[in-house]
Structure 1
């Protein structure tokens, strides 16, 4: 990419950072420059994402209708829950996910490389930091960033289906600070949509098969929850905490609480599903994905439920690898498509949030071709 795509932005002092992203102050994460995208690239990426989501829905219909969830390695006891949530999407709506893609700018072909559909992050920097930087530009520009508005719209639709004057929205995670601030971004949207919004770590949440989900207000005082948003992976639950997964399955089937994101997103989060799509719906949207590297000259090896760029290996045109906690997981093999690079040789991986529609673009930057924990976030504007 040429340097004329980038624009310098006045540095925001740590003390002046919006509270939503203040945790990142002092960290080498929020880049001061902004990346310019052509309007044609934005239009293309929005349509590309819509096509990707439509294709995932078609493939989901097929894999569920043909009872093939075992192909993904999902435990059999959770199959019915996934099927129920998919067949009753009005009661189990999808809130938000993030497609990650290679290329898509600078005349590079775009390919979706995964869908973070269950527990996506990067919400506060996408919603708040991008908007903050846009206002700092010396000339008025636009960006594709309607994520907060789309979240509020989706949550308002959920709120209308709850027949209580006071509807309670709880967000939970394992308690890592980055997850907490992502939960807070969703809580803020939920409050705007008409909910009473709260956060507590999952260890403080009470789950009852017959009565639903509660959190403790004080000693012996519990508040029923109408909507529970979690940054807690379904695959962790049904593999590591099957008792909790079974309780939640019962809660969902009895309509005691809306759980976001719903169980069927465990299909989309599973990278093996991309191999299923490749087999049954050959396309030019997703990077070609297989269960073996046979026949691939340049490919990327990934664990099926891996996250944050861990345990990835690039072989062929580039050679690189990363360590992590997912080494024992089953692997998939994707045809290698290059990421966009700048004149310094740094790599740019794009993301498109999806909440009913393609809602916001973001980019991460790293010197290493595997985008992971050490990546930086760069905002965009439309040239």
Structure 2
């Protein structure tokens, strides 16, 4: 793993990147200077063996996360038949009895968090109506699709072992630049002649590829997941319309373009699609349905939503007005409730920092799998007191907000934000990001390792500057990468 400081600079690269979807590249800093998110010129170079190490780590970590999710589900009383009989709004999940309650998840969501978790396992949901004593019996099988996610990893090249920093399981961004922009950069610069060139099959894994050179065709994540969904929900048309929702309060355009890119891959895979704002998702009281309000040409008629992807955190959604109705709708026994991508379990079980101490509890002593983890504990636990150098992270936090780095008992970096006001934090053994020489000082890269349909699919690299860059924030740069380049 090398940082190449003086790579090729393409003529007109700003316009090229803009035309490919990177419309949120430029920003004005508080001091009035201009900031470029994409760094043209420098890039990171990896050996094929290093890429294989990252790919193996990503696959192993995802398997561990699935086991950790099973453990979390089993700590909730509603995973049992008796727990489900208590009713939608009853209270059986006390802090003492339920892990999900302990980390701040409202009880009314637990049933659907657990159901969508088990629905994603074909071996589980196909047996629901065969065994009435199953942990979570249902009238009919169902399926809860999940398309993507991203691990943030510490890695310093050959001789080091990738370590998990966190899992962006539900709403990861930087997808446009990882899947599209850096791929075109590699094509246009020709920095490597290696067979792989770049670890980047994100787009192909979303839309699929035909059979060639003796290799079988792959339908891609969208076709594969919608096909499984239609097996469970036979009333859906062959190609159900998929809505894609984003939050319009993000004025940078980043959320819109990440959602638009995912929408374009679903359309390329053959599905009708529509881009909408989160504010256009409504509730039809009479029909007891999630609907699209203000649909063009149908302003006076709410349109039912069967399948929707939303780039919006579930932990915000379930605290907002209307949340209870949306979760009750998912439980419709006729299976005509709205299907949400990513499903609620992605935030509740995998996409928050409580995952880190659970993984350490389950696998910390495993020599083969535990090597990819860092010791982690809930901040109010005895284990937390054993660490003198650590990262303190809010369980429900994003973009480095309210993360504090402590070295030998002394804070070295703080990032105050609105996150963490609930007092829920974890601590993770400090593993400072690697250091490389940049033009403006020392830079610190973090590896964003992408999963598409649960499979390792590629990498994007974010880079922070100086001590403040030890915590990756929304103003950190994106750099492309290559495999065994000629520089």
Q: Normalization by structure 2: what TM-score?
A: 0.74
Q: 1:19 — aligned with what? A: 19
The aligned runs of 1:91-130 (5 Å cut-off) are: 91-105=143-157, 107-130=159-182
Alpha-carbon distance, 1:25 to partner: 4.3
Contact 2:246 2:312 in 1 (8 A): yes
What is the CA–CA distance in structure 2 between the aligned matches of 1:95 and 1:148, rounded to whole Å?
A: 12
Report SS of the residue matched to 1:21: coil
Change (3 A) 1:288 1:11: farther
Contact 1:97 1:118 in 2 (8 A): yes
What is the CA–CA distance in structure 2 between the aligned matches of 1:195 and 1:144, rounded to whole Å?
A: 27
Structure 2: which 5+ runs fail to align? 28-35, 77-98, 123-142, 208-219, 231-235, 365-369
Q: 1:342 — aligned with what? A: 436
Alpha-carbon distance, 1:167 to partner: 1.8
Change (3 A) 1:237 1:5: same
What is the CA–CA distance in structure 2 between the aligned matches of 1:3 and 1:104, rounded to whole Å?
A: 11
Alpha-carbon distance, 1:165 to partner: 4.8
Q: 1:10 — aligned with what? A: 10
Alpha-carbon distance, 1:29 to partner: 0.5
RMSD of aligned residue pairs (Cα, Å) = 2.1
Alpha-carbon distance, 1:227 to partner: 1.6
The question of 1:361 aligning with 2:441 is answered no
The aligned runs of 1:46-125 (5 Å cut-off) are: 46-67=55-76, 68-89=99-120, 91-105=143-157, 107-125=159-177
Structure 1: which 5+ runs fail to align? none
Q: Normalization by structure 1: what TM-score?
A: 0.93
What is the CA–CA distance in structure 1 between the aligned matches of 2:155 and 2:427, rounded to whole Å?
A: 18
The question of 1:217 aligning with 2:217 is answered no
Contact 2:282 2:291 in 1 (8 A): yes
Q: 2:316 — aligned with what? A: 236
Contact 1:9 1:133 in 2 (8 A): no
Contact 2:247 2:277 in 1 (8 A): yes
Contact 2:147 2:341 in 1 (8 A): yes
Give the 4+ runs in structure 1 shifted more than 6 A: none
Report SS of the residue matched to 1:347: strand
Alpha-carbon distance, 1:60 to partner: 1.0
Which stretch has the larger CA shift, 30-39 or 321-330?
Answer: 321-330
Q: 1:260 — aligned with what? A: 341
Change (3 A) 1:58 1:166: closer
The question of 1:307 aligning with 2:398 is answered yes
Report SS of the residue matched to 1:307: coil
What is the CA–CA distance in structure 1 between the aligned matches of 2:180 and 2:54, rounded to whole Å?
A: 21
Change (3 A) 1:202 1:24: closer
Asked which structure has the greater CA Rg, the reply is 2
Alpha-carbon distance, 1:275 to partner: 1.1
What is the CA–CA distance in structure 2 between the aligned matches of 1:272 and 1:119, rounded to whole Å?
A: 17
Alpha-carbon distance, 1:278 to partner: 1.6
What is the CA–CA distance in structure 2 between the aligned matches of 1:157 and 1:172, rounded to whole Å?
A: 21
Report SS of the residue matched to 2:23: helix
Q: 2:421 — aligned with what? A: 328
What is the CA–CA distance in structure 2 between the aligned matches of 1:269 and 1:365, rounded to whole Å?
A: 22
Q: 1:291 — aligned with what? A: 378
Contact 1:365 1:377 in 2 (8 A): yes
Which stretch has the larger CA shift, 338-347 or 55-64?
Answer: 338-347
Q: 2:259 — aligned with what? A: 183
Which stretch has the larger CA shift, 169-178 or 15-24?
Answer: 15-24
Which stretch has the larger CA shift, 174-183 or 105-114?
Answer: 105-114
Q: 1:45 — aligned with what? A: 54
Q: Which has the higher contact order (CA 8 A, sep 6+)?
A: 1
Which stretch has the larger CA shift, 13-22 or 30-39?
Answer: 13-22
Change (3 A) 1:6 1:75: farther
